[in-house]
Structure 1
């Protein structure tokens, strides 16, 4: 065989291989979409390895199909419209009709094939954050592989060699694409269903946006001045509650793709951190907490047993992260008397309302005219009045007797008699007061012998 024959034969092999590949990948899996802002509870798998699906707050899990022994998914990177809260829509970039994108769920030991179609106006990639996989599948544009051009589809294929809590996001023009909402969760369930089992498994991603009141598109060059702090690109009062049946073992998975850390605090319980994006935490390495600080670019999962009925707040403990559309340059008027000034302004602007003289809580009760496509800074009502919250806030609702697959809102909890704070109208005891700047030692109480 001469050199020309060898090259011709080699070309024939390449063409035959390409034809085989085209036949094999001729039909893409359906690119499912979901544009509702409501939580979609995924069904338990009807075939293959069994697992308890995660419930993505105000999100959904991406459908898949089996192609031989490979589980196939289809992600579409595209512009989306996300309802952040009733009365506010943001024009973002995401996947399959949503920001954040759909949760990908699979099982340890499975091989996955993920088709990524790019419908953005620029190139993109997908990085599988925390996954152990071949270098060429890592999704760093220009390093792992060429970036995916607009209109093209690339295929990522790898084995899931460990279980845990992971996420995906672009590694191409990151400042723009992540600021526009491109991110999603990737959950790998243990091969053994008896390992780390829970009854309810919730998941959400933290994202921050800078969207001026009355506008629709985030300012992507923002570094610190964010005003919309979101879970799965939703803000309170329209983040769904975490509904739990009394006695359930509960896991909460949370990932941080903002530019700052977030101390997530849950009322009514202590819990243990059981998983990070690096893997499961050994039992002897866990410790009790009521708040877990989630660094930038990290995942954390914690667990608790739902023994205490009630409505329990869960939120970021940075106070300005539980507000919406917050102005950064508001002057402080606490203690100032603005009555005369307000009267003068009302002559020119009827209906003017001064704010901040006695704090900002009055904003939660005011019915103020706002620009279109803007939600109040503090919002949401509970059974006893305004909650004065926004942003990264929700409620864990623990009730007795909730059905296994029921995640519907059970309404507000009614505290049993004698278990709720009440107004005191009787005589008050003398209250201690210390005006000294010096340290005062509290004396030991006298021991009384009976």
Structure 2
């Protein structure tokens, strides 16, 4: 990962970053050039060289937007435009975003900063930006038709306000919102505290990412923008596992993770191996009297949750949404449940007509990770990701927290797989097995039925074909 100086140099080649120290008075009076970034890698934190100092965040599979100082005002330039986002290796989507990416770059400022944001519209339709959760003048709130005219195609509008309170916020369109957000238009905003705040602790690592979702048919590139609930790709910062980078920290680091939800359903975010505190929401830091330790926190639609924990357990710890279908890729909703069904006889007859037919789902869906069946171009397997012991059998909203004692301060590089101490990995037992003893109890605590059925009925559960009520 490059330094900020290298970042500006490379960004200048790609899209024209302008360092404040090298900007003439004439340039200062003009529109700041936009910085464009198309890589889907997690970029190094952008350490501030101008303006107030702060401890920067790291955006998972993303980056922080550089700025320039213009007579005490922090100026940014966002470009709303069609982008191509690599959601996982071998799978790209045609989305809409900002400055070359979806989501757009994270904006970092300090409490009390006066911020000026130029927004250029290169979309095929009008747009606007709503600064989700901010306290600002009504005319800067970004709701097209209510607070401002929509930004026409090819035009640039200016938003200006003071970042009045510290916290974690988001930005997204408020014009043709369903279409534009379904196409991936959103971004993160972090306002750091100006002074030491009794409710905001200092941390060693500060990560952030957005939850988003898409409905993209296998072999396709463009999301369906009229989908309400039946999404098939659940993403973190428009990346799906195994395309989501790991969160790499040093043993005993104090870690903060900020998660914003701009999907159409809630997400119970679960961390293995550690307990955490919910220390912030969209409304700001939570009072310390309201905090308790959790391993899962639910992030509802339009909400942000900020969690903090001490990374004091070495290893590779799973970090994911706990809705199981949100950790799968391109999953159809009309697949029948065939668990326990022996259809070998039927399969034999079908193979007479379709030689490439294969039996699926009799034993569960794990078979999908073992099959080398052809899939359409630009399609990622449903369950994938190879770990040190085999297939991880995950997708979608899944990543790994990697805690290492030899990870250097400020080093965010992937350390590779954890080397387990001898005797600390579950293994096969090869000794003798005794017959299982059946558990016995007195029972009889439930109320008996007044009339018993003549014949016992065996019930088999079947997964619903839709999850529209989740």
Contact 2:66–2:76 under 8 Å retained in 1: yes
Aligned residue in 1 for 2:354: 349
Q: 1:27 offset after TM fit, Å?
A: 1.5
Choose the corresponding residue for 2:364, options 342, 345, 359. Answer: 359
Aligned residue in 1 for 2:120: 117
Q: What pairs up with 1:305-320 in 2 under 5 angstroms?
A: 305-320=310-325
SS state at 1:363 partner: helix
Matched, 1:276 2:281: yes
Give, in whole Å, the separation in 2 of the partners of 1:111 and 1:406.
Answer: 31
Give, in whole Å, the separation in 1 of the partners of 2:301 and 2:404.
Answer: 33
Aligned residue in 2 for 1:30: 33
Q: What pairs up with 1:255-334 in 2 under 5 angstroms?
A: 255-334=260-339
Contact 1:50–1:193 under 8 Å retained in 2: no
Q: 1:343 offset after TM fit, Å?
A: 3.0
Give, in whole Å, the separation in 2 of the partners of 1:439 and 1:335.
Answer: 31
TM-score by length of 1: 0.90
Deviation larger for 343-352 or 246-255? 343-352
Aligned residue in 2 for 1:90: 93
Aligned CA distance change for structure 1 residues 347 and 120 (closer, same or farther; 3 Å): same
Matched, 1:177 2:212: no
Aligned CA distance change for structure 1 residues 437 and 372 (closer, same or farther; 3 Å): farther
Contact 1:51–1:193 under 8 Å retained in 2: no
Deviation larger for 351-360 or 332-341? 332-341
TM-score by length of 2: 0.86
Q: 1:333 offset after TM fit, Å?
A: 1.1
SS state at 2:102 partner: coil
Give, in whole Å, the separation in 2 of the partners of 1:282 and 1:308.
Answer: 27
Give, in whole Å, the separation in 1 of the partners of 2:386 and 2:162.
Answer: 47
Give, in whole Å, the separation in 1 of the partners of 2:399 and 2:368.
Answer: 19
Matched, 1:379 2:384: yes
Give, in whole Å, the separation in 1 of the partners of 2:36 and 2:444.
Answer: 63
Give, in whole Å, the separation in 2 of the partners of 1:97 and 1:53.
Answer: 21
Give, in whole Å, the separation in 2 of the partners of 1:97 and 1:347.
Answer: 50
Contact 2:50–2:69 under 8 Å retained in 1: no
Give, in whole Å, the separation in 2 of the partners of 1:276 and 1:311.
Answer: 27
Give, in whole Å, the separation in 1 of the partners of 2:100 and 2:148.
Answer: 26
Q: 1:253 offset after TM fit, Å?
A: 0.4
Contact 1:244–1:397 under 8 Å retained in 2: yes
Q: 1:26 offset after TM fit, Å?
A: 4.5
Choose the corresponding residue for 2:157, options 145, 154, 157. Answer: 154
Unaligned runs of 5+ in 2: 1-25, 447-470
Contact 2:106–2:190 under 8 Å retained in 1: yes
Aligned residue in 2 for 1:447: none
Matched, 1:53 2:56: yes
Give, in whole Å, the separation in 1 of the partners of 2:443 and 2:368.
Answer: 39
Give, in whole Å, the separation in 2 of the partners of 1:225 and 1:260.
Answer: 10
Q: 1:24 offset after TM fit, Å?
A: 9.1
Aligned residues: 419
Give, in whole Å, the separation in 2 of the partners of 1:414 and 1:338.
Answer: 43
Q: 1:430 offset after TM fit, Å?
A: 5.3
Choose the corresponding residue for 1:39, options 39, 42, 49. Answer: 42
Give, in whole Å, the separation in 2 of the partners of 1:360 and 1:368.
Answer: 14
Q: What do the CA deviations read for 1:382-419 (whole angstroms, capped 9, x no partner)?
A: 11111110000000000012122211111111211122
Choose the corresponding residue for 2:241, options 227, 236, 243. Answer: 236
* RMSD (Å), alpha carbons: 1.8
Contact 2:213–2:263 under 8 Å retained in 1: yes
SS state at 2:385 partner: strand
SS state at 1:151 partner: coil
Give, in whole Å, the separation in 1 of the partners of 2:115 and 2:64.
Answer: 15
Aligned CA distance change for structure 1 residues 316 and 439 (closer, same or farther; 3 Å): farther
Aligned CA distance change for structure 1 residues 401 and 31 (closer, same or farther; 3 Å): same
Give, in whole Å, the separation in 2 of the partners of 1:437 and 1:135.
Answer: 68
Aligned residue in 1 for 2:105: 102
Larger Rg: 1
Q: 1:345 offset after TM fit, Å?
A: 3.1
Give, in whole Å, the separation in 2 of the partners of 1:197 and 1:439.
Answer: 56
Q: 1:193 offset after TM fit, Å?
A: 5.6
Choose the corresponding residue for 1:407, options 404, 412, 433. Answer: 412
